[in-house]
Amino acid sequence: MEEFAAVSGISRPTVSKYFNDPESVRKSTRMRIEQALEQHEYRPNIYAINQNRRLTKSIGLVVPFLVDPFFAEIARNIENLIIATGYRPILLNSQGRSEHEVENLESLRSFRPAGVLIAPLGRESDRSALEAFCEDVPTVLFDSNISNIGHGFVGADNRQYARDIVEYLCRSGEPPCFFEMRTPANPNANKRRQSYLQTMEELGYEPHVISVEGTGWAFEDIGYRQGMAVIEKRLLQTNTVLCSNDRLAIGFLAACFEKGYRVGVGPQNALRVAGMDDHPFARFTCPPLTTVAQNYAAVSSSAVETLLTLLSLGDSEYPARREQLFEGRLVKRMSA
Amino acid sequence: MEEFAAVSGISRPTVSKYFNDPESVRKSTRMRIEQALEQHEYRPNIYAINQNRRLTKSIGLVVPFLVDPFFAEIARNIENLIIATGYRPILLNSQGRSEHEVENLESLRSFRPAGVLIAPLGRESDRSALEAFCEDVPTVLFDSNISNIGHGFVGADNRQYARDIVEYLCRSGEPPCFFEMRTPANPNANKRRQSYLQTMEELGYEPHVISVEGTGWAFEDIGYRQGMAVIEKRLLQTNTVLCSNDRLAIGFLAACFEKGYRVGVGPQNALRVAGMDDHPFARFTCPPLTTVAQNYAAVSSSAVETLLTLLSLGDSEYPARREQLFEGRLVKRMSA
DNA sequence: ATTAAAATTTTACGCGAGTAAACTTTTATT
DNA sequence: AATAAAAGTTTACTCGCGTAAAATTTTAAT
């Protein structure tokens, strides 16, 4: 930087100021610097930069399971938003394991990011580790809420999701059973079940929840295996199944196919199957999956905005923890 | 570190040595340091560390499209291997766009990683940018080969992939048409087509390649839309379709379903459809997709090992660029 | 043209480690 | 026990930049 400052004819501290915020220097000097920049392609050393900055110009982004295209897609959205605001995203994948999640937080600690966006594993998260982290680093949770952890939460309005699709299924055919994992990794599943139960009651139908065994994040496999069992044991009380999420539904559809149950609306079909989330592949299942679409864009931008607001404030003036829930949109396809 | 060295009763340079390689200090001092570590939870500042190291203890990992679970899965494998070797992975997603790929390389430059593993976009990659980068940083390519770029390549033996599945399809039913994108993003597709043509010829069948329009990385969508068109125009010369990859096949299956074509083996079905890669979701399509399984583990570990070998050598003693191709395994499922 | 405000330059120090060199202590070898 | 080799300690310098303070110059306002 010393040498570069010399050739550009500007003092080093001013050049340093320029790289922190090009708008903070006079236009004439800015142009001189940028002119010199074209010829000498100097770039500040990020390690030296961050050594002296309390908080770096980077934002951590932790997702629980990147092989799930749902999270890959939301991570992609958030990454782009972070870049657009001039920060650098640090993407970390917890791979469905609590140890990895904790390691990721430890790793982020040493990166000293300005803030962090995290979609926690949920039930399997190490609550105390998360809590301790959030006290040190401005953190916004998304997708999966953990009560009173972090400085805010942005996610899906699961009650509305389940209500809307249950109402749709009921008025267009037989009322749905609810197919879910008994011990879901993700708290969204519980809210969805509760909302299913409540909506069924309000509509005057008897609810039937089918809670199947299975742990981990291989939801399709669980949906498939347990779907096979459910069909063999004839546990379905009606011809309509609402799966707790699209990935379970994808597995369930595979089980239906193997068992020779035709899925779809209309008298020629044996079953109707629906999911929730509008997984990127839900359009391409056979039949295409009826579901409730997450508002990816709204969740992503709201999470980023919430964090940026925090960053613009001092630690002392943080607002109260707010939970922002976004409604989903019913997407009628051929499966139900 | 000064303070921590004081409380542990060891000199700072020795503590520094310990953090660079715990095995490099005597066992007795190592234990004293680790004992002190438990009480004071000191951790070296990574920015200060990397400021003075020519190459950092991190490895860049660039993938072209993380929303594709195939890449997410291989990235997961590689990340774990990198961590196991004591390096820190820096995961970057090119999101199917050349600009992002170049930005990722620029970003990696400032991180000064010890080495980089990259699956390039392929045809859309900025060849000169990649080439320049590989001259500065030890880089191993995987999945998608670009001739003479990087210090090595690890990927699929596409000729064997196509040969094996074409032979299988031919001996178990009608010879396959080949369904592909006309301008595939990825060079693997070309090799697969060539191998299809050659194998068909060797077996004495007339090849039929159906090259459809479509750019970008939304392969399922292209497979679906163009599959619809292909069916409508009755372009299929036989009842068997080999798709250039599983994601195209997933879209094609959706088109078949919508058009009422039953897919699978046996006389009750109208079409057989197969893919290549063994995409994580290929098991759960309806019907489950017959395909050639990538050897994820072999590709991942071989890529990492190749890079680590480079890192253990000086720049002057780099071996000649080697291309390692791994065979795929034919996976017979119900679709063909 | 004065004057105040804003921007820039000079100077200097600090961040938290890596690392080299010379010296001292501990360990292993004979 | 003598000796060499290995490990550890002291000391001191370096990396590349952030940043504070005081002095100076430029710009804007009156």
Q: Where are the beta strands (DSSP E) in A120-208?
A: 139-142, 152-156, 177-181
- The pLDDT value given to residue B287: 94
Domain contains B332: no
> Separation of CA B224 and C1' D25 in angstroms?
68
d(CA A178, CA A158): 14
Quickly count: other Cβ atoms within 10 Å of residue A151's Cβ: 23
Of A224, A251, A284, the CB nearest to B250: A284
Taking C1' of C9 and every protein CA, the nearest residue is A11
Residue A72 has pLDDT above 90, yes or no: yes
- Number of separate domains in chain A: 3
- Best probe of the A interface among B51, B59, B66, B79, by most A CBs < 10 A, is B66
Same domain, A242 and A263: yes
- The pLDDT value given to residue B39: 86
Per the structure, the residues numbered 155 to 214 in protein chain A that have their CB within 7 angstroms of any atom of strand D are none
Same domain, A144 and A175: no
Cβ atoms of A10 and A19 closer than 8 Å: no
Domain contains B335: no
- The pLDDT value given to residue A258: 94
Residue A315 has pLDDT above 80, yes or no: no
Domain contains B53: no
Phi, psi of B161 (to 5 degrees): -50, -60
d(CA A258, CA A227): 10
- The pLDDT value given to residue A317: 78
Q: Taking CB atoms and an 8 Å cutoff, what residues of chain B touch A95?
A: 76, 79-80
CA dist list (Å): B214 to A168, B181, B193, B217, B219: 35, 7, 17, 9, 8
Residue A186 has pLDDT above 90, yes or no: no
- The pLDDT value given to residue A296: 94
Average of pLDDT values for A1-19?
88
Residue B55 has pLDDT above 80, yes or no: no
Residue by residue, DSSP assigns A24-36 as GS-HHHHHHHHHH
- The pLDDT value given to residue B26: 86
Which DSSP helix (H) or strand (E) runs through A115? Answer: strand A115-118
Taking C1' of D20 and every protein CA, the nearest residue is A13
- The structure tokens listed for B167 are 């032979």
Domain contains A215: yes
Q: How many helices and strands (H and E) does chain A possess?
A: 12, 12
Same domain, B212 and B283: yes
d(CA B246, CA B276): 5
- The pLDDT value given to residue B324: 96
Same domain, A137 and A174: no
Average of pLDDT values for A306-327?
88
Question: Could you read off the pLDDT of B98-152 as tens digits, one per residue?
Answer: 999 999 998 898 888 989 999 999 999 999 999 999 988 999 999 999 999 999 9
- The pLDDT value given to residue A261: 93
Question: Could you read off the pLDDT of A230-286 as tens digits, one per residue?
Answer: 999 999 999 999 999 999 999 999 999 999 999 999 889 999 999 999 999 999 999
The answer to whether B9 CB is within 7 Å of strand D is yes
Cβ atoms of A212 and A180 closer than 8 Å: yes
User: Distance from A206 to chain B by nearest Cα, in Å?
Assistant: 31
d(CA B172, CA A322): 61
Q: How many helices and strands (H and E) does chain B possess?
A: 12, 12
Residue A53 has pLDDT above 80, yes or no: no
The answer to whether B69 CB is within 7 Å of strand D is no
Residue A78 — pLDDT band, cuts 50, 70, 90?
Answer: very high
Same domain, B177 and B214: yes
- The structure tokens listed for B71 are 């890449």
Nucleotides of D under 7 A from a protein CB: 7-12, 14-21, 27
Inter-chain touch A73–B88, beta carbons under 8 Å: no
Inter-chain touch A281–B281, beta carbons under 8 Å: yes
- Top mean-pLDDT range of A7-16, B42-51, B211-220: B211-220
Inter-chain touch B111–A79, beta carbons under 8 Å: no
Inter-chain touch A220–B66, beta carbons under 8 Å: no
Taking C1' of D18 and every protein CA, the nearest residue is A52
In three-state secondary structure terms, B329 is strand
Task: Determine whether A226 is exposed, middle or buried from the number of CB atoms within 10 Å of its CB (0-12, 13-18, 19+).
Answer: buried
Inter-chain touch B72–A73, beta carbons under 8 Å: no
Inter-chain touch A95–B111, beta carbons under 8 Å: no
Domain contains A150: yes
Phi, psi of B217 (to 5 degrees): -115, 10
- The pLDDT value given to residue B227: 96
d(CA B23, CA A78): 41
Same domain, A217 and A312: no
Q: Which pairing describes strands A139-142 and A322-326: parallel, antiparallel, or unpaired? A: unpaired
Nucleotides of C under 7 A from a protein CB: 7-12, 14-21, 27
- The pLDDT value given to residue A232: 93
Domain contains B195: yes
Same domain, B115 and B151: yes
Measured CA to C1', the nucleotide nearest B42 is C16
Radius of gyration of chain B (CA): 24
In this prediction, what percent of chain B has a pLDDT beyond 90?
A: 71
Residue B292 — pLDDT band, cuts 50, 70, 90?
Answer: very high
Same domain, A27 and A70: no
- The structure tokens listed for B30 are 């190592």
- Among chain A residues, the shortest Cα distance to B257 is held by A286
Which residues, 6 or more positions from A267, have their beta carbon under 8 angstroms from its beta carbon?
Answer: none
Average of pLDDT values for A49-66?
87
Which DSSP helix (H) or strand (E) runs through B180? Answer: strand B177-181
Domain contains A20: yes
Which residues, 6 or more positions from A160, have their beta carbon under 8 angstroms from its beta carbon?
Answer: A195, A325, A327, A328
d(CA A279, CA A245): 9
Amino acid, single-letter form, for residue B104 = N
- The pLDDT value given to residue B115: 93
- Among chain A residues, the shortest Cα distance to B68 is held by A69
Given its phi and psi angles, is residue B122 left (phi above 0), alpha (psi -120 to 50 degrees) or beta?
left
Residue B53 has pLDDT above 80, yes or no: no
Cβ atoms of B216 and B98 closer than 8 Å: no
Which DSSP helix (H) or strand (E) runs through A58? Answer: strand A58-63
d(CA A273, CA A334): 9
Residue B311 — pLDDT band, cuts 50, 70, 90?
Answer: confident
Residue A19 — pLDDT band, cuts 50, 70, 90?
Answer: confident
Which residues, 6 or more positions from B150, have their beta carbon under 8 angstroms from its beta carbon?
Answer: B118, B130, B134, B139, B140, B141, B321
Same domain, A175 and A226: yes
CATH number at residue A174: 3.40.50.2300
Phi, psi of A323 (to 5 degrees): -110, 115
Q: Please tell me which residue, B8 or B204, carries the higher pLDDT value.
A: B204
Distance between alpha carbon A279 and the CA centroid of its chain, in Å? 12
Same domain, A125 and A167: no
- The pLDDT value given to residue B321: 93
Cβ atoms of B152 and B322 closer than 8 Å: yes
CA dist list (Å): A79 to A120, B54, B59: 17, 29, 20
d(CA B121, CA B145): 9
d(CA B142, CA B140): 7
Same domain, A103 and A214: no
Task: Determine whether A314 is exposed, middle or buried from the number of CB atoms within 10 Å of its CB (0-12, 13-18, 19+).
Answer: exposed
Domain contains B334: no
- The pLDDT value given to residue B51: 82
Task: Determine whether B299 is exposed, middle or buried from the number of CB atoms within 10 Å of its CB (0-12, 13-18, 19+).
Answer: buried
In this prediction, what percent of chain A has a pLDDT beyond 70?
A: 100
Residue B314 has pLDDT above 80, yes or no: no
Same domain, B302 and B287: no
Please give the residue range of the domain that contains residue B213.
158-293
Amino acid, single-letter form, for residue A284 = F
- The pLDDT value given to residue B288: 96
Inter-chain touch B76–A66, beta carbons under 8 Å: yes
